[in-house]
């Protein structure tokens, strides 16, 4: 175990640094490193070296300067996970502007709010689809002067809309001079919160926050060979986790990024890229887990053998964490890996994975232990946009059920009321134009997370729930919906779960059939061809789910147990009225969509 830097030590390490300055250092040290990759139409790869990204960022910077962009000005970016994002964002940083990424699926109304709140004058969009959405609200955005489109539609463009080639036609800016002018207190980006508890707020992340957090993550990983690791970029760039993992850390540390523009294609990219590091929200790992289990279910005998092997491996992994594993146990683990686990990792493209990270929402400890057992080093990270991503993360000494210890250079504590609070150079500068909201969460130098947690004697943190999401029954009992929901998603046929019960007499739940597992189960049980809607009303399916609910209830106190549930036969999609872009529950949206079903549970 390496010594973790204190706040003062990490502050000294990154003094005076900015992402543009760090990028130029990388460009000087390894200009030919393949920084960015994207798949072409034939299934091959287009590649951009650090030197080529430097040139393209210089062209972006020159174009923005020609447009009169000044330090502190916001530049909107709306594009999928494509290489262009990286050099346009970086070019904006070089001219000390603040690039602001908008979620790809944002509605025109959401675009209007974000663009207006940011006060953007220039936007860079990927294609006509994004352009049309922005044009619908352009009349309500008087500050928006120029819109550049990477893949413009054919024919004449509307007034003020230009092909991105026009932006890139001003030669190359002097990046060395521009980088020298950048300052640690320049804003690197605005990250807009998901708006689960109110209108989105612009989280101001500075250059200091970025380089400080990147250095902290580097120390947390404790792997000198981590530079150059292959990663897949597939989550929205508007989310701090993706921004920190595949953008800032690639600019600073030189990760090799493979751009996956459609998150639904992740499974095929895994088999193509064989990443060495993978960040995923819990749903990503739950789907991989469910897919493997469903595939094994075709042969009950083999599945039982595999499950027995996993159970044995989990015990051995626990012994390893406690330092009590025997040579015989380690030999057993190596044998299980050779005859079974390595094959599974290879089939799903995780065979070269050095580190898997899950965050943004709770992952059931059983799922995490399952991945650890089959040889996937999966660890939880905990944090928020306001902490530039991470707050706790201990991948080298993972403890399932806990989200790790404070990252280097961050002090984490539990307040008297149970709230998780922290301070350090990863903590944001405040909310854009909202000093009162800022003052609510930044108190005496401590950031108040809004999460309820616990800490053990080794400093490991466990998150209980969001303060604002605790269910208070009509009997006055406080109940954590997240813990219940995480457990309910362990039922094989269940893909999503939402606990209900605020100001109600008992706890109930909306359970969503897993769109990948349910059809496989149906085919194996004489119900092939039935739709999810039909399966949700099938007595056999309901009975099977009830068995799972009954088993889960045994883990909780009586007041927390699910008394009734309704099975839902439709998939909940990310970035919808029921899920955020990273698959967190939008409880108000869920309650609105399923108001009738919920009321029926309490009739």
d(CA 440, CA 447): 9
Confidence check: pLDDT of 196 > 90: no
563 and 432 inside one domain: no
Name the least confident of 90-94, 160-164, 267-271, 472-476. Answer: 472-476
Range 315-339 average pLDDT: 90
Give the number of other CB atoms < 10 A from CB of residue 331: 11
Domain assignment present for residue 243? The answer is no
Same domain, yes or no: 594 and 506 = yes
- pTM comes to 0.84
186 lies in some domain: no
Please check whether residues 355 and 495 belong to one and the same domain: no
* 417 secondary structure, DSSP code: T
Q: Is the pLDDT of residue 307 over 80?
A: yes
pLDDT at 362 over 80: no
Query: Quick check: helix, strand or coil at residue 61?
Result: helix
Q: How far, in whole angstroms, is CA 297 from its chain's centroid?
A: 30
DSSP 407: P
Helices (H), 298-453: 300-322, 327-336, 342-348, 365-373, 435-441
What residues have CB less than 8 Å from 412, skipping those under 6 apart?
391, 392, 405, 406, 420, 421, 422, 455, 459, 461
- Single residue among 466, 487, 511 that ends a domain in this structure: 466
Same domain, 457 and 483: no
| Alpha-carbon gap, residue 376 to 562, rounded angstroms | 32
DSSP count for the chain of H helices, then E strands: 24, 25
366 pLDDT band, cuts 50/70/90, is: confident
- Estimate to the nearest angstrom the gap between the alpha carbon of 290 and the chain centroid: 19
Check residues 64 and 525 and name the one with the higher pLDDT.
Answer: 64
62: β partners: none
Residue 512 lies in a domain: yes
Are both 538 and 598 inside the same structural domain? yes
Q: Say if strands 161-163 and 146-151 run parallel, antiparallel, or are unpaired.
A: parallel
CA atoms lying within 13 Å on the CB side of residue 368: 26
* Alpha-carbon separation of residue 601 from 551, 565, 594 (angstroms): 20, 7, 11
Distance separating alpha carbons of residues 239 and 110, to the nearest angstrom: 15
Same structural domain, 455 and 553: no
Q: Are residues 542 and 587 in the same domain?
A: yes
CA distance 290 to 513: 12
Rounded to whole angstroms, the Cα distance separating 169 from 314 reads 58
pLDDT over 80 (residue 480): no
The answer to the question of residue 142 being in a domain is no
Measuring CA to CA, how many Å separate 290 from each of 23, 226, 282, 294, 521?
Answer: 40, 29, 12, 6, 11
User: Among 18, 51, 20, which residue's Cα sits nearest to residue 36?
Assistant: 51
What string of H, E and C letters represents the secondary structure of 259-314? ECCCHHHHHHHHHHHCCCEEEECHHHHHHHHHHHHHHHCCCHHHHHHHHHHHHHHH
Cα gap 139→123, rounded to integer Å: 15
C-alpha closest to that of 92 among 235, 14, 159, 190: 190
The CA distances from residue 403 to 4, 392, 394, in Å, are 17, 6, 8
Q: Domain range for residue 574? A: 471-602
Give the per-residue pLDDT at 430: 96
- Looking at every residue in the chain, the average pLDDT score rounds to 91
Q: Is residue 237 domain-resident?
A: no
Cα–Cα distance for residue pair 66/68, rounded to 1 Å: 5
Q: Quote the percentage of the chain above a pLDDT of 70.
A: 97
Q: How many domains is the chain built from? A: 2
Tokens in use for 316?
A: 């051995």
Dihedral sign from CA coordinates of 135, 140, 141, 145: positive
- Give the residues across from 148 on adjacent strands: 124, 162
Structure-token pair, residue 204: 């101001």
Give the C-alpha separation, 457 to 443, whole Å.
25
Pairing of strands 419-424, 446-455: antiparallel
CATH of the domain at 558: 3.30.300.30
Mean pLDDT over 393-400 rounds to: 89
Exposed/middle/buried for residue 354 (C-beta within 10 Å: 0-12, 13-18, 19+): middle
> Do 429 and 500 fall into the same domain?
no
Q: Examine residue 509 and state whether it is found in any structural domain, yes or no.
A: yes
Query: Residue 360 domain-assigned?
Result: yes
pLDDT at 200 over 90: no
Residue 539 sits in the same domain as residue 525: yes
Q: What residues have CB less than 8 Å from 225, skipping those under 6 apart?
A: none
Asked if residue 596 has pLDDT above 60, the reply is: yes
Asked whether residue 587 carries a pLDDT value surpassing 90, the answer given is no
Is it the case that residue 3 has pLDDT exceeding 80? no
Q: What is the pLDDT of residues 400-436, one digit of tens each?
A: 889 999 999 999 999 998 899 999 999 999 999 999 9
Question: 3-state class of 444 per DSSP?
Answer: coil
Q: Which residue has the higher pLDDT, 197 or 112?
A: 112
436 and 498: one domain? no
- Distance (Å, rounded) from C-alpha 513 to C-alpha 570? 7
Q: Which residue has the higher pLDDT, 377 or 475?
A: 377
Per-residue pLDDT, averaged over 12-35, amounts to: 96
H or E element: which one contains 55?
helix 50-66
C-alpha 351: how far from its chain's center? 22
Contacts of 416 (CB under 8 A, 6+ apart): none
The pLDDT-based confidence of 315 (bands split at 50, 70, 90) is very high
User: Does a structural domain hold residue 411?
Assistant: yes
Residue 338, Cβ density class (10 Å: 0-12 exposed, 13-18 middle, ≥19 buried): exposed
Do residues 359 and 324 share a domain?
yes
Q: Other CB atoms closer than 10 Å to residue 148's CB: what's the count? A: 24
Long-range contacts of 138-141 (CB under 8 A, 24+ apart): 140/112, 140/116, 141/112, 141/115, 141/116
- Shared domain for 495 and 557, answered yes or no, is yes
Distance of CA 477 to the CA centre of its chain: 32
**Is pLDDT of 443 > 60?**
yes
Are 497 and 509 within 8 A, CB to CB?
A: yes
Assigned token pair, 345? 């990792």
User: 448, 423 in Cβ contact below 8 A?
Assistant: no
Say if residue 483's pLDDT is above 80: no
Which CATH number characterizes residue 372's domain? 3.40.50.12780
Average pLDDT over residues 493-498: 90
- Write down the pLDDT at residue 575: 73
Final residue belonging to a domain, choices 418, 450, 466? 466
pLDDT at 471 over 90: no
Q: Which of 466, 493, 520 corresponds to the end of one domain?
A: 466
Q: What is the pLDDT of residues 243-298, one digit of tens each?
A: 999 999 999 989 999 999 998 899 999 999 999 999 998 888 988 888 888 888 87
Predicted confidence at residue 131, as pLDDT, reads 95
User: Tokens for 590?
Assistant: 């869920």
Tokens 């413009």: give the residue.
152
């Amino acid at each position: 175990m390496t010594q973790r830097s204190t706040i003062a030590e990490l502050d000294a390490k990154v003094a005076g640094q900015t992402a543009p300055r760090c990028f130029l250092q990388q460009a000087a040290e390894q200009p030919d490193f393949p920084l960015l990759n994207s798949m072409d139409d034939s299934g091959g790869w287009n590649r951009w070296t650090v030197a080529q990204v430097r040139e393209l960022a210089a062209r972006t910077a020159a174009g923005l300067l020609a447009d009169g962009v000044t330090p502190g000005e916001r530049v909107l970016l709306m594009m999928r996970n494509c290489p262009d994002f990286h050099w346009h964002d970086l070019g904006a940083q070089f001219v000390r502007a603040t690039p602001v990424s908008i979620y790809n699926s944002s509605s025109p109304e959401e675009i209007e709010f974000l663009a207006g709140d940011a006060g953007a004058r220039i936007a860079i969009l990927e294609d006509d689809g994004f352009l049309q959405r922005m044009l619908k609200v352009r009349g309500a955005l008087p500050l928006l002067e120029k819109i550049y489109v990477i893949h413009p539609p054919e024919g004449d463009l509307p007034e003020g809309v230009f092909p991105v080639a026009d932006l890139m036609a001003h030669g190359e800016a002097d990046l060395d001079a521009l980088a020298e002018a950048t300052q640690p207190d320049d804003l690197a980006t605005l990250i807009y919160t998901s708006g689960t508890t109110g209108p989105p707020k612009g989280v101001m992340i500075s250059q200091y926050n970025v380089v400080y957090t990147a250095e902290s993550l580097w120390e947390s990983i404790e792997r000198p060979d981590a530079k150059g690791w292959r990663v897949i970029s597939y989550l929205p760039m508007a989310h701090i986790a993706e921004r920190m993992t595949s953008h800032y850390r690639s600019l600073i540390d030189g990760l090799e990024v493979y751009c996956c523009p459609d998150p639904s294609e992740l499974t095929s990219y895994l088999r193509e890229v064989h990443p060495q590091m993978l960040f995923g929200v819990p749903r990503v790992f739950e789907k991989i887990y469910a897919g493997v289990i469903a595939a094994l279910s075709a042969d009950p005998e083999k599945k039982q053998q595999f499950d027995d092997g996993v159970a044995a491996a989990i015990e051995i992994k626990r012994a390893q964490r406690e330092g009590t594993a025997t040579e015989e146990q380690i030999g057993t683990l190596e044998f299980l890996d050779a005859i079974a686990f390595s094959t599974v990792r290879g089939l799903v493209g995780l065979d070269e994975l050095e580190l898997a990270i899950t965050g943004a929402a709770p992952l059931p400890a059983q799922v995490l232990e399952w991945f650890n057992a089959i040889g996937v080093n999966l660890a939880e990270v905990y944090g928020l946009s306001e902490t530039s991503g991470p707050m706790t993360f201990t991948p080298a000494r993972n403890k399932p059920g806990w989200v790790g210890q404070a990252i280097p250079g961050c002090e984490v504590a539990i307040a008297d009321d149970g709230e998780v609070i922290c301070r350090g150079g990863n903590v944001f500068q405040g909310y854009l134009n909202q000093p009162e909201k800022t003052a609510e969460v930044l108190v005496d130098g401590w950031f108040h997370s809004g999460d309820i947690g616990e800490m053990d004697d080794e400093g490991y943190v466990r998150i209980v729930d969001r303060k604002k999401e605790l269910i208070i029954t009509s009997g006055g009992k406080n109940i954590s919906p997240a813990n219940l929901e995480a457990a309910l998603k362990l039922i094989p046929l269940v893909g999503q779960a939402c606990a209900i019960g605020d100001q109600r007499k008992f706890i109930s739940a909306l359970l969503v059939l897993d769109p990948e597992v349910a059809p496989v189960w149906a085919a194996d049980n004489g119900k092939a061809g039935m739709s999810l809607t039909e399966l949700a009303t099938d007595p056999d399916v309901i009975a099977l789910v009830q068995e799972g609910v009954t088993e889960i209830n045994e883990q909780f106190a009586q007041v927390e147990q699910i008394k009734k549930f309704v099975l839902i036969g439709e998939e909940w999609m990310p970035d919808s009225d029921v899920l955020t872009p990273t698959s967190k529950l939008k409880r108000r949206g869920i309650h609105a969509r399923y108001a009738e079903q919920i009321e029926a549970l309490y009739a």
